[in-house]
């Protein structure tokens, strides 16, 4: 951990002095989100499940932006882990004001081939984990009468993806959770929004062939797949103090794939 440095220009560091928790931040979109929030001035808790080394290197990149950053192990689909994660953030950096529920898993295949265990695993990681982390962080945010909760959905949560029924259902659930909670938390100064990315080049797409990826890029109006940084940009916008009138919304960085 580095010591806290004085805030630089508030225009370029609008999140200075804030504490952010990013789940599943050892790689992919979560890693880019953690770095994006650090660049904007937030102290960041970089949550990981398995890969401590990767999470430590993300935290080190965050610290290059003159913020404090800590890699913290937690399986956020477990209530005790989710609570411990929030507690660690609070003890080390102060009241968490930004929670990014990013951790998630994919599942591709015909519904008829899907087992009950596979269905439960997708729902637990993608829908129950945001519930658990949100439940753990809300008392802190309500006390502060301020918070930004940003949930990672997917464009398939809006449109439904073929051979991704459970994944689409879980991500649609994330959108409904977001919209409902936004109404519940509006009076407490807490905004709740979802980011629903299109096809983003991360490990999550590793089961797709090069031809499938090229086809996806071709079908995307802007002519390319998205990057983790494209998503981080959307998340950072929603995390800003100035975004206080944006709540219950779904921002979909998808290159125009669905409109």
Q: Supply the residues annotated as catalytic.
A: 167
48 binds ligand NAP (CB under 6 A): yes
Closest CA to 161 of 216, 118, 124, 117: 216
43 binds ligand NAP (CB under 6 A): no
Least spacing, CB of residue 8 vs ligand NAP, in Å = 29
Least spacing, CB of residue 153 vs ligand NAP, in Å = 7
Closest CA to 167 of 97, 233, 107: 107
β partners of residue 148? 98, 191
**Burial class, 221, CB count within 10 angstroms (exposed 0-12 / middle 13-18 / buried 19+):** exposed
129 binds ligand NAP (CB under 6 A): yes
Of 26-34, 91-99, 108-116, 183-191, the window that binds ligand NAP (rule: CB under 6 A) is 26-34
Least spacing, CB of residue 203 vs ligand NAP, in Å = 4
103 binds ligand NAP (CB under 6 A): yes
Of 9-17, 28-36, 90-98, 182-190, the window that binds ligand NAP (rule: CB under 6 A) is 28-36
Contacts of 256 (CB under 8 A, 6+ apart): 220, 221, 222
The answer to whether the beta carbons of residues 247 and 182 sit under 8 Å apart is: yes
Least spacing, CB of residue 150 vs ligand NAP, in Å = 11
**Burial class, 174, CB count within 10 angstroms (exposed 0-12 / middle 13-18 / buried 19+):** buried
Q: Phi and psi for 31 in degrees, rounded to 5?
A: -65, -45
The answer to whether the beta carbons of residues 188 and 145 sit under 8 Å apart is: yes
Of 74-82, 135-143, 184-192, 235-243, the window that binds ligand NAP (rule: CB under 6 A) is 74-82
Site of interaction with ligand NAP (CB under 6 A): 23-24, 26-30, 47-51, 75-77, 102-105, 125, 129, 152, 154, 197, 199-200, 202-205
């Amino acid at each position: 951990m580095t010591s806290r440095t004085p805030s630089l220009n508030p225009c370029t560091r609008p999140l200075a002095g804030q504490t952010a928790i990013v789940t599943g931040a050892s790689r992919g979109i979560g890693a880019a989100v953690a770095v994006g929030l650090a660049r904007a001035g937030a102290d960041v808790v970089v949550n990981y499940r398995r890969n401590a080394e990767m999470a430590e290197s993300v935290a080190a990149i965050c610290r290059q932006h003159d913020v404090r950053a800590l890699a913290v192990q937690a399986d956020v689909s477990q209530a005790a882990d989710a609570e411990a994660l929030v507690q660690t953030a609070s003890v080390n950096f102060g009241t968490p004001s930004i929670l990014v529920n990013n951790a998630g898993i994919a599942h591709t295949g015909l519904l008829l081939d899907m087992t009950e265990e596979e269905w439960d695993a997708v729902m637990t990681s993608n829908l129950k984990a945001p519930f658990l982390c949100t439940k753990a962080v809300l008392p802190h945010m309500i006390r502060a009468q301020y918070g930004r909760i940003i949930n990672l959905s997917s464009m398939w949560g809006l449109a439904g993806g073929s051979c991704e029924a459970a994944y689409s259902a879980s991500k649609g659930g994330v959108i409904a959770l977001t919209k409902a909670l936004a109404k519940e938390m509006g009076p407490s100064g807490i905004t709740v929004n979802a980011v629903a990315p299109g096809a983003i080049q991360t490990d999550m797409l590793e089961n797709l062939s090069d031809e499938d990826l090229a086809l996806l890029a071709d079908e995307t109006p802007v002519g390319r797949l998205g990057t983790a940084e494209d998503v981080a940009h959307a998340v950072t916008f929603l995390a800003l103090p100035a975004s206080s009138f944006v709540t219950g919304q779904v921002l979909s960085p998808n290159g125009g794939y669905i409109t």
